[in-house]
Chains A and B, each alone.
Chain A
Amino acid sequence: MSRRRHSDENDGAQPHKRRRTSEPMEIEDRLESLICRVGEKSTSSLESNLEGLAGVLEADLPNYKTKILRILCSVARMLPEKLTVYTTLVGLLNARNYNFGGEFVEAMIRQLKETLKSNLYTEALYLVRFLCDLVNCHVIAAPSMVAMFENFVSVTQEEDVPQVRCDWYVYTVLSSLPWVGKELYEKKDVEMDRLLGQIEVYLKGRQKTHVPMLQVWTAEKPHPQEEYLDCLWAQVQKLKKDRWQERHILRPYIAFDSVLCEALQHNLPPFTPPAHSHDAIYPMPRVVFRMFDYTDAPEGPVMPGSHSVERYVIEENLNCIIKSHWRERKTCAAQLLSYPGKSKIPLNYHIVEVIFGQLFQLPSPPHIDVMYTTLLIELCKLQPGSLPQVLAQATEMMYMRLDTMNTTCIDRFINWFSHHLSNFQFRWSWDDWADCLTVDLDKPKPKFVREVLEKSMRLSYHQRIVDIVPPSFSVLIPAEPIFQYKYGDESSSSLLAYPVTITVGNAIKNRASNEEILTVLRDVPNPNQEEDDDEGEGFNPLKIEVFLQTLLHLAAKSFSHSFSALAKFHEVLKTLSDSDEGKLDVLRVVYDVWRNHPQMISVLVDKMIRTQIVDCSAVANWIFSSNMAHDFTRFYVWEILHSTIRKMNKHVQKIQRELEEAKEKLEKQHHKKRDSGDEEDMEKLSGDEEGQLEEQIERLQEKVESAQSEQKNLFLVIFQRFIMLLTEHLVRCETSGMEFNTSWYKNCIERLQQIFLMHHVTIQQYMGTLENLLFTAELDHHILTVYQQFCALQL
């Protein structure tokens, strides 16, 4: 029953050593397995499994109490989807052993304090919910639970604390009510009413500036994207109106009522929420994602309404399952599909809704995007007769609502759909989407199809895309990704620099060195040159064009060829791109030659940043330059920008880590010195080392400061450019009386939002500068609103 990690087989440990340590380990593994897998793969009922397990554990208590306590505490924290199974187990143990019940409650409170201190708010919430359900199992007395809730809600009275702090405490109380509302109301209805009254006042006074920034669709129909606390409040109100009758949650303890109500209950110790501190990171607010309602599931069980508490519980549980098993897609899919109570709900619809809810979550999904693609494929494999249809229905619905979908979410939709199709031979009923051909190509629907086809082409090849779409769609097919050489054909022989391109080309083919190339390039005529400037040292943009066009042309065969070329002539490129204008010109040439192969542009820009031929600010300036205005709304441009920002961020983090490590080393040195006996000797030896370390730390400190300055500058450039572009557009529209909310505008303002959302952690550091320099009160309110919504996310 215990699972051997296979690495044990190779670890070369002595056989007898292994035998000695494995016995207690085996028993602990067995206990863990028994507890974690209770009820799985058993022909008997869950109740009889629990009864059996309670007996076994009771017998093991004398010898393994600590271990059992630890396992149960972990299970409470990490298996929230099986909450009621384990509260029942604890209930049974408490009925048999009152002291154990008391110790368990104490251990849970300790764990709650720890998780709150460590910013693990989601796990803390699961612990509170577990404690609540223990009221149902007669382990904890209802009045003491109500007292804890009262302390939680009193956080809303604190002054000068972030709204997100109060939000969490209120959310925790509300989200436990589906489980324990009935019991608490039966015992303490006056107090509970007062509590709910206080919560209502708090919710009415709450700031909700952040909501538009987090909504997947801006439209209210067909499903409003509600703020999460508002939605939960509505659900709790409805539950209260139904007199707390909740029928969805599986409650094994009901079968044991006669045993459990004989048990003695414990009182929760008074719990004071830890005070707010500056390094507390509370969960960000969110919006509830809904895309289905009861009209969408054609037959079978009805989908619970959007304000029903069942909907909340189902979504919570499915989200918890994904949180537990996201690393193992087969297990995750199997667990989702074996959700208890699935026969009463349209499970496939719930699963698809929850998965897309996570994928489209703003600022970012809880897990890496590609996980969701693979999970959906796994689910299709397990339910080939039903899930693919639901998925197709969902895709169709999301296509229909593209006009009001947030641009960041459209990006993720494009990536998901193209990757998904590539696993299913790109089979899709494209004709169903013929309506996208009847509108302007820059409108959301045709734009979406174009981007999907472009991404699909990257995963396959051009002819494949031509083959999979109907002929009417040919206007949406991406261009063939072919190199565009300026000096390539007969007509170019009249161009000024044409002869030099031949010379350069031959030099490269004959393996010339970097110096030789630079010498050849001196012959490039300089269009900027003054007549009497003999040196030819003035900045010459034609040099860059001649060299880079020719080089990239010769290396056009593959990514590897191009990378090799950049590496071989790194010196030349560094020399040519030495100025800001030089860097912009390099990027301009790359775009010119590869404008039909955006993927190649991306990888070349990436390589050039990493080899310092261009820097991040140059890339930002290039993207906002008038040359790129034509491609400004294309997906690949934003992928490049975000990738650039990420590289900058990783660079800063890397140097910061190096600095931390050097500081730690120095500290260790100091300790060694202090602790050693022979002081004189140690001083002699470590004096040098210390000196070196201190020097290193100084250098790294400078490096960190310079990197952070570069990072701040990058964001300033980006935000400045956005402000300029948007202001220009708004002013132009106002003076000419045109509608400002064009497709271009929607795209641009949402791309600005996207910068804030995708890099919010880094940007927080520079808020002061941003507010003082850029996002001032003089700004057009349309632009300023984006900034204010962003600030509201962590208030």
Chain B
Amino acid sequence: MSAKLSALFSDSYIDVSQYRDQHFKGNRVDQEKLLKQSCTLYVGNLSFYTTEEQVYELFSKSGDVKRIVIGLDKVKKTACGFCFVEYYTRVDAENAMRFINGTRLDDRIIRTDWDAGFKEGRQYGRGKSGGQVRDEYRQDYDPARGGYGKLTQLQRTSDGPRTF
């Protein structure tokens, strides 16, 4: 009887982003399907010091959390600024995308994105130095994420102390 008026009632906060996990085992069609059904979110831009407890507290505001997996530096096995949050239902995960994504945790704006599902091994950073790739190349100083990016750190030590 009535039109859905999709022109007006978009729900863009729950849309899938452009990012695709390059290490995903399976074809593109499978990946899309999993992303559309997923109850798991990737959470990025965390401080290295943000705890599982804090993540639980914040993400519980959109529903019961089934599991949290804190992302680890592959070498140091310490938190390296991301995690996965899995809900029991898709609806709860959608509400997290609508209302928790883009707000602050530990004073930092965090970013959430759909994830195809946690698999063993995905809790490790994929940067060369063991952390996340983004921390390899960034040039800014972020005290909550180990200071300078890894490449910049190496450059700074090889250049020696600066004198003006």
Q: Which residues of A contact B (CB under 8 A)?
A: 3, 5-6, 10, 12, 29, 32-33, 36-37, 67, 70-71, 73-75, 77-79, 110-111, 114, 324-325, 327-329, 368-371, 373-374, 377, 415, 419, 422-423, 425, 455, 458-461, 558-560, 599-600, 603, 606, 643
CB pair A460 B54 closer than 8 Å: yes
Residues of A within 8 A of B53 (CB): 458, 558-559, 599-600
Nearest Cβ in chain A — how far from B112, in angstroms? Answer: 13
Residues of B within 8 A of A371 (CB): 95, 98-99
Partner of B7, one of A36, A328, A455: A36
CB pair B98 A327 closer than 8 Å: yes
A460 CA to B104 CA, complexed, in Å:
11
Query: Which residue in chain B gives the minimum CB-CB distance to A369?
Result: B61
A455 CA to B10 CA, complexed, in Å:
33
Partner of A71, one of B5, B11, B99, B106: B5
Nearest Cβ in chain B — how far from A480, in angstroms? Answer: 13
Residues of B within 8 A of A643 (CB): 64
Residues of A within 8 A of B29 (CB): 12
Number of interface residues of B (CB under 8 A): 39
Given contacts A78-B9, A560-B52, contact A329 B1 (CB under 8 A): no
Given contacts A78-B9, A370-B61, A560-B68, contact A459 B105 (CB under 8 A): yes
Query: Which residue in chain B gives the minimum CB-CB distance to A76?
Result: B2
Residues of A within 8 A of B75 (CB): none
Contact with A along B74-93 (1 / 0, CB 8 A): 00000000000000000000
Nearest Cβ in chain A — how far from B148, in angstroms? Answer: 24
Query: Which residue in chain A gives the minimum CB-CB distance to B10?
Result: A328
Nearest Cβ in chain A — how far from B13, in angstroms? Answer: 6
CB pair A71 B107 closer than 8 Å: no
Nearest Cβ in chain A — how far from B160, in angstroms? Answer: 37
Partner of A3, one of B1, B7, B61, B105: B7
CB pair B54 A377 closer than 8 Å: no
Residues of A within 8 A of B28 (CB): 10
- Pairs across A and B, CB under 8 Å, 12 listed: A36-B8, A37-B8, A78-B9, A111-B2, A328-B10, A328-B12, A370-B61, A415-B61, A419-B61, A459-B105, A559-B53, A603-B56
Partner of B51, one of A369, A455, A558: A558
CB pair B3 A74 closer than 8 Å: yes
Query: Which residue in chain B gives the minimum CB-CB distance to A79?
Result: B8
Residues of A within 8 A of B12 (CB): 328
Query: Which residue in chain B gives the minimum CB-CB distance to A377?
Result: B103
Q: Which of B7, B10, B11, B103 has the most CB of A within 10 A?
A: B7
CB pair A78 B5 closer than 8 Å: yes
CB pair B6 A32 closer than 8 Å: yes
Residues of A within 8 A of B3 (CB): 32, 67, 70-71, 74
Query: Which residue in chain B gives the minimum CB-CB distance to A67?
Result: B3
Query: Which residue in chain B gives the minimum CB-CB distance to A325?
Result: B9
A369 CA to B32 CA, complexed, in Å:
30
Given contacts A3-B7, A12-B29, A327-B13, contact A368 B2 (CB under 8 A): no
A368 CA to B70 CA, complexed, in Å:
26
Given contacts A374-B103, A425-B107, A458-B57, contact A32 B7 (CB under 8 A): yes
Residues of A within 8 A of B41 (CB): none
Partner of B1, one of A29, A79, A111: A111
CB pair B52 A559 closer than 8 Å: yes
CB pair B7 A37 closer than 8 Å: yes
Q: Which of B1, B8, B13, B103 has the most CB of A within 10 A?
A: B8
CB pair B13 A328 closer than 8 Å: yes
Given contacts A73-B1, A369-B61, A559-B56, contact A6 B99 (CB under 8 A): no
**Which 5 pairs from chain A and chain B are nearest by CB?**
A74-B2, A458-B57, A370-B61, A374-B99, A36-B8
Nearest Cβ in chain B — how far from A376, in angstroms? Answer: 11
Residues of B within 8 A of A78 (CB): 5, 8-9
CB pair B56 A73 closer than 8 Å: no
CB within 8 Å of A: which B1-34 residues: 1-15, 28-29, 32
Residues of B within 8 A of A377 (CB): 103
Residues of A within 8 A of B15 (CB): 6
Residues of A within 8 A of B51 (CB): 461, 558
Q: Which residues of B contact A (CB under 8 A)?
A: 1-15, 28-29, 32, 51-54, 56-58, 61-62, 64, 68, 70, 95, 98-100, 103-107
A36 CA to B2 CA, complexed, in Å:
14
Residues of A within 8 A of B100 (CB): 370, 374
Partner of A368, one of B4, B6, B32, B95: B95
Given contacts A73-B2, A77-B2, A368-B95, contact A29 B103 (CB under 8 A): no
Query: Which residue in chain A gives the minimum CB-CB distance to B28?
Result: A10
A492 CA to B147 CA, complexed, in Å:
44
Q: Which of A10, A114, A370 has the most CB of B within 10 A?
A: A370
Query: Which residue in chain B gives the minimum CB-CB distance to A647?
Result: B64
Residues of A within 8 A of B104 (CB): 422-423
Residues of A within 8 A of B13 (CB): 327-329
Nearest Cβ in chain B — how far from A114, in angstroms? Answer: 6
A3 CA to B11 CA, complexed, in Å:
13
Residues of B within 8 A of A458 (CB): 53-54, 57
Nearest Cβ in chain A — how far from B123, in angstroms? Answer: 11
A415 CA to B15 CA, complexed, in Å:
28
Query: Which residue in chain B gives the minimum CB-CB distance to A418?
Result: B57
Residues of B within 8 A of A558 (CB): 51-53
A355 CA to B106 CA, complexed, in Å:
26
Residues of A within 8 A of B6 (CB): 3, 5, 32
Nearest Cβ in chain B — how far from A778, in angstroms? Answer: 39
A36 CA to B3 CA, complexed, in Å:
11
Partner of B62, one of A327, A368, A423, A600: A368
Query: Which residue in chain B gives the minimum CB-CB distance to A643?
Result: B64
Nearest Cβ in chain B — how far from A377, in angstroms? Answer: 7
A422 CA to B11 CA, complexed, in Å:
26
Given contacts A423-B103, A560-B52, A560-B68, contact A74 B95 (CB under 8 A): no
CB pair B7 A70 closer than 8 Å: no
CB pair B7 A33 closer than 8 Å: yes
A371-B99, A374-B100 are known contacts; what are 8 more A-B pairs with Cβ within 8 Å?
A3-B6, A12-B29, A29-B7, A73-B1, A327-B14, A328-B13, A423-B103, A600-B53
A36 CA to B99 CA, complexed, in Å:
26
CB pair A74 B5 closer than 8 Å: yes
CB pair B106 A460 closer than 8 Å: yes
Residues of B within 8 A of A370 (CB): 61-62, 95, 99-100
Nearest Cβ in chain A — how far from B136, in angstroms? Answer: 27
Nearest Cβ in chain B — how far from A272, in angstroms? Answer: 20
A340 CA to B104 CA, complexed, in Å:
32
A324 CA to B28 CA, complexed, in Å:
34
Query: Which residue in chain A gives the minimum CB-CB distance to B5?
Result: A74
Residues of B within 8 A of A328 (CB): 10-13, 98
Nearest Cβ in chain B — how far from A452, in angstroms? Answer: 14
Partner of A75, one of B1, B5, B105: B5
A415 CA to B57 CA, complexed, in Å:
11
Given contacts A328-B11, A377-B103, contact A32 B56 (CB under 8 A): no
Residues of A within 8 A of B99 (CB): 329, 368, 370-371, 373-374
Residues of B within 8 A of A3 (CB): 6-7, 10
CB pair A459 B56 closer than 8 Å: no
Residues of A within 8 A of B4 (CB): 74
Nearest Cβ in chain A — how far from B100, in angstroms? Answer: 7
A33 CA to B9 CA, complexed, in Å:
11
CB pair B1 A70 closer than 8 Å: yes
CB pair A70 B54 closer than 8 Å: no
A35 CA to B62 CA, complexed, in Å:
34
A415 CA to B28 CA, complexed, in Å:
41
A688 CA to B143 CA, complexed, in Å:
67
A455 CA to B53 CA, complexed, in Å:
12
Query: Which residue in chain A gives the minimum CB-CB distance to B66?
Result: A610
